[in-house]
Amino acid sequence: MLPVINLGFISLDAYSFFMVCGFYFAFLYALFFLKNYKTKFVTEKELYFILACLFFCAMFGAKAAFLFAERPDIFLQDPLSIFKIWEGGFVYYGGLIGAVCGVYIYLKIRKISVVLFSDMLAVCLAINVFFIRTGCLFAGCCYGKETSLPWGLKFSAGAPLHPTQIYEMAGAFALFLFLHFYNKKNFGRGKTLALFLCGYSLIRFAIEFLRGDERGAYHFGLSVSQNISIAVFAVAAIIFYKADKNARNDNV
C-alpha cells in the first residue's frame, strides 16, 4: 500500500495519479485508433473537448453515486457536497454512467456518429478501469475479505486479504484485449460498448462477493454495485441484441 507517491520534488495522491493516468492512456489509445482507422469520424481537436466532457461527467457521476448510495447523510447535511470532487469518495459505476450519458449528449449536439464513437470508447473504458483499480491498490481501498490463499495481500497489520483490486485489473486487461481485437472485425456495428458493459458488469458482480470494505446498504442480499451490475447487464444485452439485429438486416 502506497497512498502517496513521492517523486522527490512533489508528492502525489496515488489514487488521483492513477485516475489521471487512466484518462491519459485511454486518450492516447483513442488517438492511435483514429490514426489507424480509415474513416475519420471525429477530429483530434474534437477529441480533446470530448475528453474534458467525459472527465467532468465521470467525476460528478462518481461523486453523486457515492453520496446517494453510501453517504446520504453527508448529502442531506450539505447538498453542495456533490460538487466537491476534490474531497474524494467515488463509486466507479456512477462515473461510468455519468461519462456515457455526458458523452452521448455531446455527440448528439455535435452530430458525431454515436455508433462509431461508442465502439472506440468501449476499449478506452477498459483501459480506464485498469488504472482506476491500480490506484485503489496503491491507496489500499476497495480491498477484499480475509483469505488464506498464497496470493493474499496485507494492507495493514491484520490478516492477508483478497487482492480484489488486482482481480479487477486482470479482468479489465482481458476485456481490453478482447474488445481491441473484436473491433478489428466488427467496428462500426454498435456492439462493442454493449460487450464492455456486459463484461464489466459480470466481472464486478463476481468480485463483489469477495469485497471486504464497507459496501453500503444491501438489497435482496446483494450490494448496491451488484444490483447496478444486474441492471447494466440487462440494458447492455438489449442494446447488443438491437445492434446485432440491425446489422443482420443491413446484410440482407
What pLDDT shows up at residue 224? Answer: 86
Residue-by-residue pLDDT tens, the chain, 252 positions: 666 666 666 667 788 888 889 999 999 999 999 888 877 888 888 999 998 898 889 888 888 888 887 778 787 888 877 777 666 677 878 888 898 899 999 999 999 999 999 999 999 999 999 999 999 998 888 899 999 999 999 887 788 999 999 999 999 999 999 999 999 888 888 899 999 999 999 999 999 999 998 877 788 889 988 999 999 999 999 999 998 887 776 654
What pLDDT shows up at residue 75? Answer: 76
Give the Cα separation of 210 and 223 in Å (integer): 11
C-alpha cell at 72: 446520504
What pLDDT shows up at residue 9? Answer: 66
Decide: residue 46, CB within 10 A, 0-12 exposed, 13-18 middle, 19+ buried: middle
Element (H, E) at 12: strand 11-13
Q: Residue ranges per domain, the chain?
A: 4-41+113-251
Give the Cα separation of 72 and 22 in Å (integer): 28
End-to-end CA distance of the chain: 56
What pLDDT shows up at residue 69? Answer: 73
Residue 208 burial (CB count, 10 A): 17
**CA–CA distance from 157 to each of 64, 154, 214, 230 (Å)?**
33, 7, 19, 35
What pLDDT shows up at residue 250? Answer: 64
**What phi and psi values does residue 218 have, to the nearest 5 degrees?**
-105, 140
What pLDDT shows up at residue 170? Answer: 97
pTM (2 decimals)?
A: 0.86
What pLDDT shows up at residue 121? Answer: 93
